[in-house]
Chains A and B, each alone.
Chain A
Amino acid sequence: MRVAMIGWEYPPFKAGGLATHCYGLTRSLADKGIKVDFYMPKTKHATGSEKDNLNIIEVGETEIFPYDRPDNKELAGQFFEAVYRYNDLVVSKVKGNYDVIHCHDWLTMKAGIALKYKTNTPLVLTVHSTEYDRSGWLYPNQWFIDIEREGMEKADRIIAVSHFTKRVIVEKYGINPDKISVVHNAVYPIPEGHKKDIVLFLGRLTIQKGAEFFLRAAQKVKDFEPDTQFVVAGIGDMLPRLITQALDLGISDKVIFTGRLTEDEVKHIYGISSVYVMPSVSEPFGITALEAISAGTPTIASKTAGFSEAFNNCLRVDFWDTDEMANKIISLIRYKPLHMTLSKEGKREIDLFTWDRVADKTIEVYNGVK
């Protein structure tokens, strides 16, 4: 089977779960004998594949932008232009002879739809997030929603990364649930490091990811566990506001903002943290939770996150309930048996979340449209 996969980011260039997913999925598909041509925008970083079945094809000269929903209007303008240019280039580059076109999120939907009709090939669309998620359900932008709806309507099959996302696709976009399959994400395990008294937030600093709730919980923990350090890792348009918030809360001595981390630094921080918190306002899946747990770091995740519906050995909170978040952080710090059991059982459960399984389920979807 030959698949033209249209992506946006791919390691080492990565802004979020989309890159991680495409990397794990394409490699496992290739291992299973599926021939994958992965189209992506040209990047400054060298990207490639040593696998025979997997070709990484860089299209165009556009530098891609690290935000999927920029706040800055000028940047946004350039960004949308880049997305359009990329989609057009992909359509002209991809020529016939595929069994399936597979695209990911709104960034690649225009190209996916055009190719479906140009080459008369079935289209599979994976939804990693929707505009509702990215906006934190506050003022979602109709322009994105319209692109997303068109893609969902034109796709022959949709893969949602969680039942949570499937519900959004059905309820907010009016799509027939029968054409949506749920495939939960996976992880390449990260080694466990020497644990320190660090409570970690890691993700894009956007309204969607809920870092502000992390800081509020940190303030509540501070008086009870004064030796605990809080780390906010990542970049995003909320960064200045979060730094101000930490000052206002009187916890700036307890919080470290790391800025952008390299892949190795990300692995290191997962490894040495004692608690990972994913307080997302809206989270279709949340691969970072799997990454943290694979590194032996017990995780407190937003109840509505797709991850939470799929994973047993974690703690769940309402993202706005910072009292309960603090209760759970303090409990993890104080009660060693809780920490040990979550760490141990979590790592055991992680073994079920392999890209091999994701590839199998994706192939099932391909076979359904072929």
Chain B
Amino acid sequence: MPSICFYFEVHQPMRLNKFSVFNIGNKSDYSYFNKQLNKDIFLKVARKCYLPTNNLLLDLIHKYDGKFRISFSLTGTFVEFCEQFIPEVIDSFKELFKTGAVDMIEETYYHSLSSLYDDMDEFEDQVKMHRQMIKRLFNYKPKVFRNTEAIYDNRIAKKVAEMGYKGIITEGTEKILQWRSANYLYKPITTDLKVLLRNYTLSDDVGFRFSAKMWPGHPLTADKYASWMAKSQGDLINLFMDYETFGEHHWTETGIFDFLEHFPGEALKHDHLDFVTVREAIERYETVGEIDVPWAISWADADRDVSTWLGNDMQIACFNELKNIGKKIKETGDPELINTWRRLQTSDHLYYVSTKGLEDGDVHKYFSPYDGPYDGFINYMNILQDFKHKLY
């Protein structure tokens, strides 16, 4: 009997101010982060997605008496925005958590690429920051970890196990599974940990395709979707997606909220289906095999690797610049410098610099505050140069 495991990534990056080469080294008090833009976007998404979806989920959990169960990961930058601009969003997440039908997932506080650095100290620091934040907000210690955009390899799995987590989330890609199904738990070859794999077909049916009129599955109704679940084999159907799927990537008019409202009821009509949180999933089910991932995978773009952030020379240059000043930054012991350095590590800044073409490019364009990857690079690199100026 497969269990449905719904998990939502909740993240907003700190978008940058316009910063030209002429600003490098001469605007010491000028913020790198565009507070107004970030506030405007955050309030818009909160109104369209976070608040209405939280309300709906709370109602659904009550309506089905806790049988409808979900999990969240909230990034540190997201929580900072909530606390600055609209604290009732955090309150509503607390309400949800109190029901007992909601689990919280760990990750790096800054939604960064620190897991790809040469040594793992910075990664560990950022995970600990997130752990403290979850403890502070929910008085809870997560058991399951999800790295930035599900970036995963053997090394990361080992580190995460060492830090005491029992489960980790990544993409159910054929690259690592070959013929095997994503609807089971697996064990990393390097360590003792349970790996939850995203069922990308069923996840993307909602996340990407829900409002695509060209898709044969359109319109996707709750009973149709539930019937696909009912026909699925395996222990676990992992439906992992951006939380902004609801009301933001797909607007209210597409019927996404009606879909969500009716889905739990339709799923529970099938006696052999139920819902679990990520923690319950790893407590209930056993691993069925091993996965070996020497090269990092992720759930991003069609390539399902890290080329989304490190796919061209510009991205690699920025990544290295930022990474290489880490030691110096930490030596200063200046909390403001360290915080700025970490905010600049948020993976979105590199995502905007991706030059991938075709359909992925369209997705990048949708999310980017820049007129294309080259403007994204110039702005980010100018800021990195200015930041270096402050150091030397």
* Chain A contacts to B: CB under 8 angstroms: 220, 224, 312-316, 323-324, 326-328, 330-331, 334-338, 340-342, 345
Contact = CB atoms under 8 A, between A and B. Distances in A.
B271 interface: no
Leading 4 A-B pairs by shortest Cβ distance:
A337-B313, A327-B20, A337-B317, A331-B378
A341 B378 contact: no
Interface string B1-28: 0000000000000000000111000000
A330 B314 contact: no
Interface stretch (B154-162, B340-348, B369-377): B369-377
Contacts, number: 56
Interface string B292-325: 0000000000000000000011101100000000
12 contacts: A314-B374, A315-B374, A315-B375, A327-B21, A327-B22, A331-B382, A334-B21, A335-B381, A337-B312, A337-B314, A341-B314, A341-B355
B378 A224 contact: no
Contact of B21 (A314, A331, A342): A331
Contacts of B313: 336-337, 340-341
Contacts of B371: 316
B381 A345 contact: no
A328 B378 contact: yes
Contact of B372 (A224, A312, A323): A312
Given A331-B381, A335-B317, A337-B314, A342 B20 contact: no
A224 B355 contact: no
B374 A342 contact: yes
Contact of B355 (A220, A326, A345): A345
Contacts of A327: 20-22, 378, 382
B178 to A, nearest CB: 32
Contacts of B22: 220, 224, 323, 326-327
Contacts of A338: 314, 374, 377-378, 381
Interface of B: 20-22, 312-314, 316-317, 355, 357, 361, 371-372, 374-375, 377-378, 381-382
Contacts of B382: 327, 331
A141 B381 CA distance: 46
B381 A313 contact: no
Contacts of A341: 312-314, 355, 374
Contacts of A315: 374-375
A185 B277 CA distance: 56
Contacts of A312: 357, 361, 372
A323 to B, nearest CB: 7
Quick one: which of A324, A328, A331, A340 has the most chain B CB within 10 A? A331
B284 to A, nearest CB: 48
Contacts of B317: 335, 337
A327 B21 CA distance: 6
B374 A330 contact: no
A337 B314 CA distance: 5
A364 to B, nearest CB: 24
A312 B357 CA distance: 9
Nearest to A333: B21
Quick one: which of A328, A338, A340 has the most chain B CB within 10 A? A338
Given A340-B313, A341-B313, A224 B381 contact: no
Contacts of B375: 315
A152 to B, nearest CB: 32
A323 B23 CA distance: 11
Nearest to A223: B22
Nearest to B361: A312
Contacts of A345: 312, 355
Nearest to B316: A337
A338 B355 CA distance: 11
A324 B20 contact: yes
Contacts of B381: 331, 335, 338
A136 to B, nearest CB: 23
B365 to A, nearest CB: 10
Nearest to B313: A337
A24 to B, nearest CB: 25
A313 to B, nearest CB: 7
